[in-house]
Amino acid sequence: MSTIQAPSPLSPLQAELLKLYGAGISNEQLFDVKRLLARYFAQSAMNAMDAFWDEQNLTNADMDRWLHEELRTGHQQ
C-alpha cells in the first residue's frame, strides 16, 4: 500500500496569492496581478544580468560574439 505524502507548506508568496483568490478578485484583476509578477521577475532577471555583465567587464563585442557563436553538443544525429 502506498503512502500519501503531505504537501509542503506554502511559500509566503503562495499564501498571499491564496488570500487574493479568497477575496474574490475578477479575471481582469487576476490578469493585472499576473502582469505585475511577470514584470517584477523580468526586472529581477535583468538586474542580475546587469550585475553579472559589470562583474565580468563584458562588452558589446562579447555579446555580438555570443550571438554568432555556434554551440555544438556531443550528440550525433
Q: What is the pLDDT along the chain (77 residues), one digit of tens a residue?
A: 566 766 779 999 888 888 888 888 898 998 999 999 999 999 999 999 999 999 999 999 999 998 988 877 765 55
Looking at the domain assignment, is residue 75 inside a domain? no
Looking at the domain assignment, is residue 35 inside a domain? yes
- Smallest CA-to-CA distance from 17 within 33, 35, 41 is with 33
Distance CA 40, CA 75 (A): 37
Looking at the domain assignment, is residue 54 inside a domain? yes
Q: Are 61 and 69 in contact (CB under 8 A)?
A: no
Looking at the domain assignment, is residue 46 inside a domain? yes
How many C-beta neighbours within 10 Å does residue 57 have?
7
Looking at the domain assignment, is residue 73 inside a domain? no
What's the whole-model pTM score? 0.63
